[in-house]
Amino acid sequence: MQVRTKNRTVNNRPIGIFDSGFGGLTVMSAIVEALPSESLIYFGDTAHVPYGSKSKDIVIKYSKEITSFLMKFKVKLIVVACNTASAFALSTLRKTLKVPVIGVIEPGSKAAIYASKNKKIGVIGTEGTINSESYVREINRISRYEVYQQACPLFVPLVEEGWNSGEIADSIVKKYIKPLLDKKIDTLVLGCTHYPLLRETLKKNVGRSIALIDSAKATAQEVKSILEEACLLADLKSRKFLKFYVSDNPKKFQAIGSRFFSKEMPSVKKIKMIS
């Protein structure tokens, strides 16, 4: 399906993207912004959400099933738009799939290294992401930085409840962030795709001097670079589409999803997964 036009090759096949639920929609939204001509197929594994508290084995199992589903659409690239699945399943998926697979941890780590001046980076995420130490490993693979981590299990339900700001959000943010501030970090990675919705509350409570790294935006830029380098960008005139699939509760996904996805949500279809 690759067509050489003038000086470049185009590829109008869609990009596949998945997450355990809604969170990955912040990544999808950033990709749509960075690459407005691309078609995207999103899968939210709402039957198994959240991944953050689950084991590595089961997250790998779910990730394999979802990517098999996405491959049926002949996607040209897959984005693992979930920090926990990126932490646990990325290397397995890269071994088994024949298309590039992009996670959110590598782009987030690179952006944090680029932003930090005192080489002290804080990372917040779900229990799964934090326990996996994936950000620590990825940052230290690139350069020697001090990395301080904090699991924030209340952030996801806080965002899903819509309590992104206010007294309760402030107290919870303060409690989780304090140990990181004590370490004098100058950069904070939002290591969960739900967290961009807490950006203002985080900014208010960590202070303006600390750079907040949104993995969603960093990942969208990484997707753009890879497609450009591999000459896999879609034709500007292509008839692009956005499709949404979930494993449970499509109505709820559409209702809450619109908060995460800054554009209008088209219809959402439920797919029966093996598990």
- Name the residues annotated as catalytic: 82, 192
Per rule CB under 8 A, count of chain residues that contact its own copies: 27
Cβ–Cβ < 8 Å for 105, 90: yes
Neighbours of 163 (CB within 10 A): 15
Measured at the CA of 99, the angle between CA 103 and CA 109, to 5 degrees, comes to 20
Q: Residues 157, 200, 226, 228: which binds its own copies (CB under 8 A)? A: 157
Residue 146 near its own copies by CB under 8 A: no
Q: How far apart, in whole angstroms, are the C-alpha atoms of residue 102 and residue 244?
A: 19
Q: Min. distance of Cβ 242 from its own copies in angstroms?
A: 23
Q: Residues 172, 212, 216, 233: which binds its own copies (CB under 8 A)? A: 172
Residue 133 near its own copies by CB under 8 A: no
For the record, the structure tokens of 99 come out as: 């298309």
Q: Is 76 exposed, middle or buried (0-12, 13-18, 19+ CB in 10 A)?
A: buried
Residue 158 near its own copies by CB under 8 A: yes
Largest CA distance in the chain: 57
Identity of the residue, 204 or 252, whose beta carbon is nearer to its own copies in the bound complex: 252
Residue 5 near its own copies by CB under 8 A: no
Q: Min. distance of Cβ 54 from its own copies in angstroms?
A: 6
DSSP for 195-262, written as a single string: GGGGHHHHHHHH-TTSEEEEHHHHHHHHHHHHHHHTT-PPPTTS---EEEEESS-HHHHHHHHHHHSS
Q: Residues 252, 254, 259, 271: which binds its own copies (CB under 8 A)? A: 252
At residue 231, φ and ψ (nearest 5 deg) are 50, 50
Q: Residues 8, 175, 199, 237: which binds its own copies (CB under 8 A)? A: 175
Positions in 30-49 near its own copies (CB under 8 A): 46-49
Residue 171 near its own copies by CB under 8 A: yes
Q: By the criterion CB under 8 A, which residues form the site for its own copies?
A: 46-49, 53-55, 57-58, 153-154, 156-158, 160-161, 163, 167-168, 171-172, 175, 248-249, 252, 274-275
